[in-house]
Chains A and B, each alone.
Chain A
Amino acid sequence: MLEQKAIVGEVKVIVFRLKDEEYGVEVQQVKAIEKLEHITRVPRTPKFVKGVINLRGVVTPIIDLRKRFDLEESEYSDSTRTIIVAVGDLEVGLIVDAANDVIDIPVDAIEPPPEVVGGVEAAYLRGVAKLDKRLLILLNLDKVLSTEEINQLDAFEG
């Protein structure tokens, strides 16, 4: 992935906010950004799985990113958004505090992630981009949406 970008030189990312940090996911992986709507709870699933929504006729699972990263919870507000991302054949909605920007990051501004940034483990991160005064944390969605982990958690709880 990174090699490909190197030719282009820039990565276009959707910027969203979670607690006090700004995160980015590649625009190619984002299918839609939705306002929070009715979520149907799915019983006996890991805590970070908020449930499912009806996304234009497709039942789409929603996970709360704060809970996914074990960050402190907060009330949902008007700025709360659901970012629908697609990784492989998975389509999942991520609840974030706000999503309001699309920016291009030069590839050479991306550095490997330190061990923990903003309380999020490095395993979930692809890198950190330093831009002027902003620090943008790039998520490794494959890892964030790993079903292996959800199955393990499931077994643990069950």
Chain B
Amino acid sequence: MDMNQYLDMFIEESKEHLQAINANLLILESEPSNIQIVNEIFRSAHTLKGMSATMGFEDMASLTHEAENVLDLIRNNKLTINSDIMDVIFQSVDLIEGMVIHITEGGDGSADVSDPVRKLRAIVAGDFTVQQEVAVAASVAEPEVQAATAGHDADKPELDLDDYAQTVLKQSKDAGNNLFWIKVILNENCLLKAARAYMIFDQLESLGEVIKTTPSVQDIENERFDLSFDVVFVTMNPVDKVRTAIQNISEIQEVQIETIDLKAPPAEPPAVQPAAPAAANAAAPKKADAAQPAAARKAAAGGKTIRVDIERLDILMNLFSELVIDRGRLEQLAREIGKSELQETVEHMSRISGDLQNIILTMRMVPVEQVFNRFPRMIRDLAKDLNKKVNLEIFGAETELDRTVIDEIGDPLVHLLRNSLDHGIESITDRRIAGKPEEGTIELRAFHSGNHVFIEVKDDGAGINKEKVLKKAIERGIVNQAAAETMTDKQIHELLFASGFSTADIISDISGRGVGLDVVKSKIVSLGGSVSVDSVRGKGTTFLVQLPLTLSIISAMLVQVKNEKYAVPLSSIIETAVFKKDQIMMAHRQKVIDFRGRVVPLVSLEEIFQVPSNREETDDEVAVVIVRKGEKMAGLVVDSFIGQQEIVLKSLGKYLVNVFAISGATILGDGQVALIIDCNALIK
């Protein structure tokens, strides 16, 4: 069967389940007695197992299967959680995550699962401790040995054979055939037991004749058996040949073959003894539970959802963008024509398309939770590695961001968090000396503000060591000695983002391999955002990431410069103002104005953009758009303001790249293209 069409869905869902498992495991670690959580984890693991088995990722299926057995014992109060067990489970989850990544990258998701499988089985067997880990392999084999010996030691296998069978056997024996009683024990990871059984029968029938099976053939075909079944078999072939034939089939744990002694009186049927009793225990309640948790999970998720390919949403968005352009055009036409019915209709349409726009935009919005979810786990592991105590507090995980931004923001945040943990939070002893609680705190906070989403990473660590930063920056030639002396705290902090800067004395695995915060910055800037840092020595450091809500439709102010129209994103505008010519002053050969007590440099768009002009300026007033970039401001001198408008961001295409101070283009209501000004490039 071609599974490719399901692969994407499988990957998506696996990721979701893994995330859920990780999150729940962390809760479980702090409240080990919360059976509700175990149930949640169990359900996710169960679904994962089912999906991976269906998709043919057998290593993943077998590993989840073992994990599920452990979880099952836990939730049935047959096993108490301790940190060793948690570690094994975490390890297994990591391995599964690795497999999913492998599959995502086009691999087959295979991995060596023997180690965690062995540990998990040992847990199920009830003799797992870290100290005994070495001995575990032996002890896990033990029950099987027992089972095997049980088979051999027992008096000759007892068979419930009817008269007919007895007669057949006798005749066969007389004809010189061998009579065997065969017990096949399937591997407990075997997923398609009926299929395996079928293959076994197929082999057997090529060698001889199956007289009888326990359970019945029908039951076996319908998978109504545990892990083993018995066969009474008549053949001309020697026992070894039969044994090899069966053992050549995969997923078979063990084959026991006994010669049937017909003189033994027929008696009770053999009790079907599975090799691993624990596995059987686990298997029985599992089936009953399977349907119920699935239903419960759906209810818990609340509301119905469907999965839509992000590409389709992109297409919808593009089509809608066209509509927005036409809407602008219609509005303009209606105004020109001035017919009230037309204007009313157009206004109505505008309102509706406004609502539509909101819905389309929100459809693409996903909570940052998706990204945040993996952090607690990461912090836990890192803190362990670094021997630090850290508590990660997450706020505002429900804050929504455009899907495209979400996809990109994960790595930079990982980097910032690692940075806080590695460089920010001090070691336990240092914290004790500083009179701080041993456990450091990292706050991860997301919140909306205007057209932006802010994500804050705040630690209560040592803060930025300015001297050290400066020294390093001078060493690396990022600043010179003279400049360094005049730098403000803020400027020094900004140095962290300079390329080729890394203050870690030893490049650790945690803060990346020499890749500094400059990468974080450039990534965030490429998303249309910005990042800043604030730090108080001894108190901690805060990184603030600002991101646009969406990347496709923005509000902008349209301005006129001579015959050209430009769009200035509203997000960077503080306000618009009109100044008298005599209010313009000169400072350092730069035109400036006094804007609410601040000296703001003026930037003439006409000059910067070399706008062709044929008439002399006669007005005694200048229109200025005050824009900002962080703390800095600038006044863009324009001819007039056209108005505020929702615009659709379009790129200039691959031919025109890196155009100075232009971040893209948009299509106006009249069908013409207007360029979008990149204010950041204009503020120095």
- Is A90 on the interface with B (CB-CB < 8 A)? yes
Tell me whether B652 and A43 are in contact (CB under 8 A): no
Measured CB to CB, the residues of A under 8 A from B are: 38, 40-45, 49, 51-54, 57-61, 89-92, 145, 147, 150-151, 154, 158
Closest 6 CB pairs of A and B: A43-B609, A40-B673, A44-B660, A59-B665, A61-B655, A59-B650
Name B656's contact: one of A49, A57, A158 (CB within 8 Å): A49
Tell me whether A40 and B610 are in contact (CB under 8 A): no
Chain B residues contacting A91 (CB-CB under 8 Å) are 653, 655
Tell me whether A44 and B671 are in contact (CB under 8 A): no
Task: A145 to B653: give the CA distance in the assembly, Å.
Answer: 13
Task: A60 to B650: give the CA distance in the assembly, Å.
Answer: 10
Chain B residues contacting A145 (CB-CB under 8 Å) are 655
Smallest CB separation, A42 vs chain B (Å) = 6
Contacts A52-B656, A61-B656; A41 near B321 (Cβ below 8 A)? no
Smallest CB separation, B507 vs chain A (Å) = 34
- Is B654 on the interface with A (CB-CB < 8 A)? yes
Smallest CB separation, A51 vs chain B (Å) = 8
- Is B613 on the interface with A (CB-CB < 8 A)? no
Contacts A52-B665, A57-B325; A42 near B656 (Cβ below 8 A)? yes
Chain A residues contacting B672 (CB-CB under 8 Å) are 38, 40, 54
Task: A150 to B667: give the CA distance in the assembly, Å.
Answer: 24
Name B659's contact: one of A42, A54, A89 (CB within 8 Å): A42
Contacts A54-B672, A57-B321, A59-B667; A42 near B658 (Cβ below 8 A)? no
Tell me whether B657 and A147 are in contact (CB under 8 A): yes
Name B610's contact: one of A43, A49, A59 (CB within 8 Å): A43
Tell me whether A54 and B564 are in contact (CB under 8 A): no
Nearest B residue to A93 by beta-carbon distance?
A: B655
Tell me whether A40 and B660 are in contact (CB under 8 A): no
Q: Which of B316-330 contact A (CB under 8 A)?
A: 318, 321-322, 325
Measured CB to CB, the residues of B under 8 A from A are: 318, 321-322, 325, 564, 608-612, 650-662, 665, 667, 671-675
Tell me whether B667 and A61 are in contact (CB under 8 A): no
Cβ contacts A to B, 16 pairs, < 8 Å: A40-B564, A42-B659, A43-B659, A43-B660, A44-B661, A52-B652, A52-B665, A52-B673, A54-B672, A57-B322, A57-B667, A61-B652, A90-B653, A90-B654, A90-B655, A145-B655
Tell me whether A44 and B659 are in contact (CB under 8 A): yes
Nearest B residue to A89 by beta-carbon distance?
A: B654
Nearest B residue to A157 by beta-carbon distance?
A: B660
Tell me whether A45 and B673 are in contact (CB under 8 A): no
Name A43's contact: one of B321, B611, B658, B667 (CB within 8 Å): B611
Smallest CB separation, A119 vs chain B (Å) = 23
Tell me whether A42 and B652 are in contact (CB under 8 A): yes
Smallest CB separation, A155 vs chain B (Å) = 10
Chain B residues contacting A49 (CB-CB under 8 Å) are 656
Tell me whether A40 and B609 are in contact (CB under 8 A): no
In this complex, the member of B325, B655, B672, B675 whose beta carbon has the largest number of chain A beta carbons within 10 angstroms is: B655
Tell me whether A59 and B609 are in contact (CB under 8 A): no
Tell me whether B659 and A59 are in contact (CB under 8 A): no
Tell me whether B656 and A40 are in contact (CB under 8 A): no
Tell me whether B654 and A147 are in contact (CB under 8 A): yes
Task: A61 to B653: give the CA distance in the assembly, Å.
Answer: 7
Chain A residues contacting B661 (CB-CB under 8 Å) are 43-44
Tell me whether A151 and B658 are in contact (CB under 8 A): yes
Tell me whether A40 and B675 are in contact (CB under 8 A): yes
Task: A42 to B662: give the CA distance in the assembly, Å.
Answer: 8
Chain B residues contacting A44 (CB-CB under 8 Å) are 609-610, 659-661
Tell me whether A147 and B655 are in contact (CB under 8 A): yes
Task: A45 to B658: give the CA distance in the assembly, Å.
Answer: 10
